[in-house]
A and B are shown apart, each in its own frame.
Chain A
């Protein structure tokens, strides 16, 4: 149980951290790489060069100030709403599972699914854009119909790990879920 380096479907490296808090409770944290300062600087320089070129031709200073404002607001919205730092899956046998994503600005969104609603955690394949990917998902069932799948909750959507990482998480989850 420790840190492992895997890749996501696009080839970017991610890391998986498996922690076993007890025999019935395990946590899996998939971390994406942090926002690189080089990329931020390149992006800002390009935007400001374009804005300066437009200002050079139109002689309108609002172009410059609006470019600065748009860059700042855009970066703030990106790190608060879009850039996911790590996603975690906490499996507690006989209680339920907790999914949480934490964004680069520190914001965290958490969902808890109780054990009676969980039918299974499986690895499914589906078409995503132009490729077919493996992804881990939770199958939910209604208490009135224990044999039918009522809905599907995909896990690790922002980091999208590849099959070797998913297999590890799958085997570990099945051990915990089958104990109760």
Chain B
């Protein structure tokens, strides 16, 4: 499945666009037409007009809270400075050290943090 534009996707997009514009038009109709007119036509069992204002406001407040909560959940899930997960993990511990034969490219593996430190901080400046 490629993300490139296809004719079917253009048609789906246009149908969704028309549908959402029409849905918004119907919502505005319901919100603005007074109750008596709707009752006189015969549409009696619709939600209260209070919800025409309440639902958009609820959605906006939820959107703002989701932004804050996403940031908070991410910070909560970050490993603290004293966790072993920032040094090593199950896969690095269980790797076997193989002897490399001459001329062969050595196998890809995790370098332990002590070696990395020696390479970085003991090199002559």
Chain A proximity mask over B54-87: 1 for CB below 8 Å, otherwise 0 = 0000000000000000000001001101111011
Question: Contacts A148-B93, A149-B87, A152-B87; is A123 near B121 (CB within 8 Å)?
Answer: yes
Cα distance A134–B34 in the bound complex, in angstroms:
65
Chain A proximity mask over B86-125: 1 for CB below 8 Å, otherwise 0 = 1110000100000000000000000001100110111000
Contacting pair B121 A152 (CB below 8 A): no
| Size bin of chain A's contact surface | 20 to 34
Q: Which residues of B contact A137 (CB under 8 A)?
A: 81-82
Query: With an 8 A cutoff between CB atoms, is A127 at the interface?
Result: yes
Distance to closest chain A CB from B75 (angstroms): 7
User: Which stretch from A28-36, A60-68, A85-93, A167-175 is at the chain B interface?
Assistant: A167-175
Identify B75's interface contact among A129, A139, A154, CB under 8 A. Answer: A129
Q: Looking across the interface, which residue of chain B has its beta carbon closest to that of A128?
A: B81
Contacting pair A170 B78 (CB below 8 A): no
Contacting pair B117 A151 (CB below 8 A): no
| Size bin of chain B's contact surface | 10 to 19
Distance to closest chain B CB from A91 (angstroms): 16
Distance to closest chain B CB from A122 (angstroms): 5
Chain B proximity mask over A143-157: 1 for CB below 8 Å, otherwise 0 = 000001111111001
Cα distance A137–B85 in the bound complex, in angstroms:
13
Cα distance A131–B79 in the bound complex, in angstroms:
13
Distance to closest chain A CB from B123 (angstroms): 11
A-B contact count (CB 8 A): 50
Identify A151's interface contact among B82, B114, B118, CB under 8 A. Answer: B82
Q: Looking across the interface, which residue of chain A has its beta carbon closest to that of B117?
A: A122
Q: Which residues of A contact B88 (CB under 8 A)?
A: 149
Return the 3 tightest CB-CB contacts between A and B, nearest first. A154-B81, A120-B114, A122-B117
A–B complex contacts, Cβ < 8 Å, 25 sampled = A119-B114, A120-B117, A122-B114, A122-B117, A123-B120, A123-B121, A124-B86, A124-B87, A126-B81, A126-B86, A127-B79, A128-B81, A129-B75, A137-B81, A149-B87, A150-B84, A151-B82, A152-B81, A152-B84, A152-B87, A153-B82, A157-B81, A170-B117, A171-B122, A174-B118
Q: Which residues of A contact B (CB under 8 A)?
A: 119-120, 122-124, 126-129, 135, 137, 139, 148-154, 157, 167, 170-171, 174
